[in-house]
Amino acid sequence: MKGPDGPVRIHGHCRLDEDAIRAALREGRAERLVDAGGAFVIVARGAAEDVIVSSRSVAVAYHHGRAAHGRRLADVAATLPFAWNHRAVADFLVFAHPLGDDTFHPGVRLVPPGSVSITRGDGGLECRPAPPEPGPAEQGADAAARALVDAVRGDAGAECGLSMSGGLDSRVLLAALLRLGHRPTLFVSGVPGSFDREVASAIARRYDLPLVVTRVEARTLLDGSLDGDAAGIGLLPLTGRAGLEHLRVAAGDHGPPILLGVGGEYARGYYAAGRGLSALRQAALPGRHATEIVTRRYPVPLTPRELEMVHPALRDALHPEAVRDRVASTSRASGSALDRSDEFFLTQYARHKISAELASLDGHVRWRAPFLDPGWVRAVRALPRRWKLGSRLHRYCVARLWPSLLDFPEAGASAGTLARRPPPAYWLTGTRHPPGPHYLDQRMFRSGPLVDLVREHRDSLEDLVQPELIDALAAEQAAEGRRPHLTFGLLALGLYRRRVRQLAGDHRAVS
C-alpha cells in the first residue's frame, strides 16, 4: 500500500485496515496508530524521512542502524562494518536474549514499543514515546477474563488455529475461543505419549475439533535454522526454536491466523520460585531484590577455565557483577521484587526472546499472541499477587469461560483433572514435570546433524570464542547433553555471523 509519498508496510498485524492507516499517516496522526490494536510495526518510507510506528505490544521487534532499518537484524547489521556487541552476546549466552535496546551489533538498536520514530538525514532516529497508558477501567479477575476475551476476539478472525503446545496457556486461550463460538484447528508438537500431545488429542476428541500433530525432528530444525530469509535467523538457539517449529511445518504458508500461548507466563510469575511457600516469601521482598531473583535463575554458563578462551570484552561482560548491573539497570518498574521481575519478563524476555520466536515464523504463519495484548497486560498488572501464584488466574479463566476444560489433566499434578485453585502440592513441594516423555526426542541434540552443525561453524566465531572451546562443548553435548542452550546458542551466533557476511558481500557486489 502507499503512504504519503512512499510505500507503507506492516510487520505483524494491525486491526485497522490499510486505508485508515494511510489516512492517519497522511494527516500527521501517526501517534494515534500506536493504540490501533494488534501487534505491529508500521514503516512508511518517504523521500525525506521514514516514519516507524510501533504498537505497545512487545511482540514485534524492529531494528535501526545508522544507514538502514528493518525487521531482520542481519539485514541492518550488514550495512555497517561488522562488530560484536559483547554485552549483548553475554546476555544472550546467560539469559537466551539481550537486554534493553541492545542487539548483537553495537551500531544497531531496537525501536522501542509504543512509539513513533522519524529517521533523520544523518541516519539517526528521533523517537517519540506515546503517552503512558491509562490503568484498566475495572480491576479484578473478572476484568482480566474480559480483557482476555477481548484480546482473543481481536486476534482470531473468522477462522483460526491454536497451538496446543503451550500447556495451560493454550488451554486458557481455547476456553476463550470456545466461549466466542470458534472451533479452531488445534496444532500440537510431540512424540507419542508426551503430555501436551495426549491432552490435545483428548480435547480434540471431546469437542470434535480438527487436530494436526507434528513430530519435530532434527531435519525440521535444520531446515528452519538455515533459512537465510527468516527474520529470527541467529537470534535463537535450536533448543529455543523447537517449541514453535511444528507450526512452520504444519500450518503451511499464510493460512488462517494461529493463536499461540506465548507470554502467558506474565500472569504466572515466570521468575517466582516453583514452590508456592517460597514464592510467597519472595512476594514480600522489596523491589530491590528483583535483580537477585532473576540472576539466581541464570548462572554464568562458562567455567573459569572456559572464560579464558573467550574475547576479553566478552569475559568482562560475563562477570556476575556486570550481569547483575545490567539486569538492575533494566528493572525500573515499581512494586515488590516479584512485580519488578514480572516486568523484566515482559520488557526483556518477551520483547527479545518471544519476539525472536515469533519472527522465526514470519512468512509461514500468521501468528497471534493474545497474552501480549496491552489490554490483557494492564489487567494482569493490576491484580494482587495471589492471582499470579500457582496459575490461579489461568485456572479461574478456564472455569469461568469454558468449565468442561477443567476435566482434562494438569501437568505435574497427581489429580486427573485441572484444579480450580492451586493444589496443596504446589505450596508444599512445587510443580513437577508432567508424566511421559519429553515432547522432543532429546537424542537429536546429542548426535547427528545438529551437533555436526555446531562443529561446522566453529571458525565463524574465532574473533569471539576460540574454536577449541566450541569443539569441547560439542563433544560434551554429544557425551552428556549438559549445556545445550550454551552450545546451540554459540551455533546461533555463528549462523548470524555467516548471514551478515553473505548480505555484506551482496551489498559490496551491488555497489
Let me know if residue 277 belongs to a domain: no
Which residue shows C-alpha cell 480450580?
A: 420
Query: Concatenated DSSP letters for 276-323?
Result: HHHHHHHHTS-GGGHHHHHHHTS--SS-HHHHTTB-HHHHHHTSHHHH
Query: Do 232 and 159 reside in the same domain of the chain?
Result: yes
Which residue shows C-alpha cell 508424566?
A: 435
Let me know: does 109 contact 64? Beta carbons within 8 Å.
Answer: yes
pLDDT for position 90: 98
Query: Do 348 and 396 reside in the same domain of the chain?
Result: yes
What phi and psi values does residue 399 have, to the nearest 5 degrees? Answer: -65, -35
Domain boundary residue, one of 335, 355, 371:
335
Let me know if residue 3 belongs to a domain: no
Query: Do 231 and 348 reside in the same domain of the chain?
Result: yes
Q: What's the grid cell of residue 321?
A: 557483577
Cα separation of the two ends of the chain: 28
| Alpha-carbon torsion, ordered 166, 171, 176, 182, to 10 deg | 90
Query: Do 370 and 457 reside in the same domain of the chain?
Result: no
pLDDT for position 2: 47
Number of domains in the chain: 4
Query: Do 71 and 151 reside in the same domain of the chain?
Result: no
A 10 A CB-CB count for 208 gives 7
Q: Which CATH number is 33's domain given? A: 3.60.20.10
pLDDT digits (tens, 9 = 90+) for 32-85: 999 999 999 999 998 889 999 999 999 999 999 998 999 999 999 999 999 999
CA angle (411 as vertex; 408, 412 as ends), nearest 5: 130
Q: pTM surpassing 0.85?
A: yes
Q: What is the DSSP letter of 465?
A: B
Q: Which has the closest alpha carbon to 2: 62, 45, 40? A: 45
Query: Do 246 and 362 reside in the same domain of the chain?
Result: yes
pLDDT for position 120: 78
Strands 161-163 and 258-259: parallel
Let me know if residue 464 belongs to a domain: yes
Let me know: does 45 contact 7? Beta carbons within 8 Å.
Answer: yes
Check whether 144 has a pLDDT greater than 90.
Answer: yes
Let me know if residue 274 belongs to a domain: no
Check whether 413 has a pLDDT greater than 70.
Answer: yes
Query: Do 188 and 259 reside in the same domain of the chain?
Result: yes
Query: Do 150 and 296 reside in the same domain of the chain?
Result: no
Let me know: does 339 contact 331? Beta carbons within 8 Å.
Answer: no
Domain membership of residue 452 as a residue range: 447-510
Let me know: does 376 contact 141? Beta carbons within 8 Å.
Answer: no
- Please provide the size of the chain in residues: 511
Let me know if residue 66 belongs to a domain: yes
Let me know: does 187 contact 246? Beta carbons within 8 Å.
Answer: yes
Query: Do 301 and 262 reside in the same domain of the chain?
Result: no
Query: Do 147 and 185 reside in the same domain of the chain?
Result: yes
Check whether 1 has a pLDDT greater than 50.
Answer: no
Distance separating alpha carbons of residues 136 and 139, to the nearest angstrom: 6
Query: Do 231 and 369 reside in the same domain of the chain?
Result: yes
Check whether 226 has a pLDDT greater than 90.
Answer: no
Domain boundary residue, one of 428, 458, 488:
428
Query: Do 423 and 486 reside in the same domain of the chain?
Result: no
Check whether 245 has a pLDDT greater than 90.
Answer: no
pLDDT digits (tens, 9 = 90+) for 268-327: 999 999 999 999 999 999 999 999 999 999 999 999 999 999 999 999 999 999 999 999
Of 44-48, 234-238, 351-355, 399-403, which gets the smallest average pLDDT? 234-238
SS3 214: strand
Let me know if residue 433 belongs to a domain: no
Give the confidence band of 225 by pLDDT, cuts at 50, 70, 90.
low
Which residues are bridge partners to 115 per DSSP?
A: 54, 129
Let me know if residue 434 belongs to a domain: no
Check whether 228 has a pLDDT greater than 60.
Answer: no
A 10 A CB-CB count for 419 gives 18
Check whether 108 has a pLDDT greater than 50.
Answer: yes
CA angle (94 as vertex; 240, 450 as ends), nearest 5: 40
